Amino acid sequence: MNRRNFLATGFASSTIPFIKIKNEQPADKVRLGFIGVGLRGRNHVEQALYRDDVEVTAICDVDPDAINRTLKITQKFNRKDPAVYGKNDHDFLNMLKRDDIDGVVIATPWEWHVPMSVESMKAGKYTAVEVSATVTLQESWDLVDTYEKTGSHCMILENVCYRRDVMTVLNMVRKGMFGEMLYGHCGYQHDLREVKFNDGKKFYGGGVEFGEKAISEAKWRTQHSVDRNGDIYPTHGLGPVAHWMDINRGNKFNFLTSMATKSRGLHKYIVDKGGADHPNAKVKFKLGDIVTTNIQCENGENIVIIHDTNSPRPYSLAFRAQGTEGIWTEDNKSIYLEGKSPKAHSWEPFESYQKTYDHPLWANHAASAEKAGHGGIDFFVIRAFIESIKNKVAPPIDVYDAAAWSAISPLSELSIARGSSPVEIPDFTRGKWKTNKRIFGLNDQF
């Protein structure tokens, strides 16, 4: 069975079989349009331009500075200037009317993801959306319903799914090396205090020098910490774990409970940096400093997700994979497999397993990934989107993944608001999880 037939089979059983696959030649060129060319969007533009088979036909951003910076990138690659949109917040609708765009990459603030993705799918474009894909539960349904109505694919650009170590673990999970899976642990543990307050002058009254990144994200990201108490950024951790556990493909999330600590870090940061009289010292942040969510899966596994962005700490996504026969943890880069590891009850370094069980995607494409920079994962995630368009197949991370992973945010908010009571996680596949086949990481294609 060749790859295309294989994907076609997986696709037909998992979603609506509208694609003609047989005898179809891959497209030579893929024409992309970008909505939101801030820091993340420009990174995607650059990754796409490394490829000769991609044309960037249009870009859209309401910030002229973002547009200018993007044009400099396309010029650096000696490409034709893309058409520019961004006269107002809804100019993306005009961009979507173009018939020289096959795929649209959306990297705007979270609240824009679904309105833009829905319109892009309706316009018949392959759609890629940044993480988290959705903010509310209704939005997760809107993505799924629009896909099912239009047949236009929607991929969530969860780059961490392509991290080399988590793909190696995926390989080992699928070979049964951990036995039967019991437990996944993950999170977003990233001290974002600088990022959240990095429009410095406005927030502190000046004097604090910060990087470009924070200035731009602080414009929209910080407000979510004021308004919401839940795991507001779950997918970097959850994406890889969902693949280990075959979520939406033989397994599903059933329910969750979430708990939040008190909120201290952001207020303390303002006072420490700007003084107790700083106007923003009056801001009440709803977001607990550490939010822990526990998911019960249909096949009996538990997944714990930590959201921890307001306190001083080193970066870690806190991955742990555990089954009846062994355990891997990211933080100490170690593994223990019963009957295989040399010493009972003792960790063994993961390094040799990383080499032996390296996922074929990485083993075969590491050189190109490294050439494209950014540690490789951004190369792989945008490559997967482009190859899906070229081959006219479903993307390996699909709309059901986008809906289910992102829904953890509003559902964790609900659980916390109800005193950590269990909250049901909807089955966005409407039962198709029982027969859906795996599509992510099956081979070295994408």
Residues pairing with 304 in the sheet:
185, 294
Instruction: Using CB under 6 A, pick the residue from 10, 33, 86, 396 that binds ligand NAD.
Output: 86
Q: Which of residues 218-257 bind ligand NAD (CB under 6 A)?
A: 219
- 194 binds ligand NAD, rule: CB under 6 A: no
| Tokens representing residue 284 in the block | 């009440």
Report the first-to-last Cα separation within the chain, whole angstroms: 17
Are 109 and 84 in contact by the 8 Å Cβ rule? The answer is no
- Element of type H or E holding 314: none
Whole-number minimum distance, CB 234 to ligand NAD, in Å? 12
Site string for ligand NAD, 376-415 (x = CB under 6 A): ----------------------------------------
Q: Closest separation between CB of residue 165 and ligand NAD, Å?
A: 16
441 binds ligand NAD (CB under 6 A): no
Q: Output 159 or 280, the one with its CB closest to ligand NAD.
A: 159
Nearer to ligand NAD, 35 or 290 (CB): 35
Q: Considering only 62-70, 174-182, 319-327, 397-405, which stretch makes contact with ligand NAD by CB under 6 A?
A: 62-70
* Count of CB atoms situated within 10 Å of the CB of 19: 18
Interatomic CA distance for residues 409 and 401, integer angstroms: 14
Q: Which of 45, 58, 60, 169 binds ligand NAD (CB under 6 A)?
A: 60
CB of 284 to ligand NAD, least distance (A): 24
- For ligand NAD, give the closer residue by CB, 327 or 408: 408
Write down the least CB distance from residue 384 to ligand NAD, Å: 13
Distances in Å between the Cα of 401 and the Cα atoms of 113, 121, 248, 343, 404 are 15, 16, 7, 39, 5
Give min distance, CB of 388 to ligand NAD, in A.
Answer: 18
| Site size for ligand NAD (CB under 6 A) | 25
Of 122-161, which residues contact ligand NAD (CB under 6 A)?
130-131, 159
Residue number with CB closer to ligand NAD (340 or 374): 374
Q: Which is nearer to ligand NAD, 8 or 114 (CB)?
A: 114
Q: Is 339 exposed, middle or buried (0-12, 13-18, 19+ CB in 10 A)?
A: exposed
Amino acid identity for residue 174 in this structure: R
Shortest Cβ distance from residue 85 to ligand NAD (Å)?
8
Q: Which of 46, 55, 61, 165 is in the footprint of ligand NAD by CB under 6 A?
A: 61
Rg of the chain (C-alpha set): 22
Beta bridge partners of 293: 258, 305
Q: What share of the chain is helix, strand, coil (3-state, %, to 5)?
A: 40, 15, 40
Closest to ligand NAD by CB, 19 vs 241, is 241
Return the range that interacts with ligand NAD (CB under 6 A); candidates 39-47, 277-285, 297-305, 321-329.
Answer: 39-47
- Closer CB to ligand NAD, residue 181 or residue 232? 232
Using CB under 6 A as the binding rule, the residues of this chain from 195 to 224 that contact ligand NAD are: 216-217, 219
Q: How far is the CB of 404 from ligand NAD (least distance, A)?
A: 17
Residue nearest ligand NAD, CB atom distance: 38
Q: How far apart are CA 446 and CA 383, in angstroms?
A: 7
Q: How far apart (Å, rounded) are the C-alpha atoms in residues 242 and 225?
A: 25
Shortest reach from residue 15's CB to ligand NAD, in Å: 24
110 interacts with ligand NAD by CB under 6 A: yes
Cα gap 251→259, rounded to integer Å: 24
CA dist 34 and 106 (Å) reads 6
Which of 34-42, 141-149, 260-268, 345-353 is the region at the interface with ligand NAD (rule: CB under 6 A)?
34-42
User: Are the C-beta atoms of 346 and 352 separated by less than 8 Å?
Assistant: no
Nearer to ligand NAD, 119 or 217 (CB): 217
Nearer to ligand NAD, 11 or 362 (CB): 362
Query: What DSSP string runs through 407-445?
Result: HHHHHHHHHHHTTS--EEPP-TTTTGGGTPPP-TTSSS-
Residue 36 in the binding site for ligand NAD (CB under 6 A): yes
What is the rounded distance in angstroms from the CA atom of residue 221 to the CA atom of residue 189?
A: 16
Q: What is the DSSP string of 82-149?
A: PEEE-SSTTTHHHHHT-SS-SEEEE-S-HHHHHHHHHHHHHTT-EEEE-SS--SSHHHHHHHHHHHHH
Residues that bind ligand NAD (CB under 6 A): 35-36, 38-41, 60-63, 66, 86, 89, 92, 107-110, 112, 130-131, 159, 216-217, 219
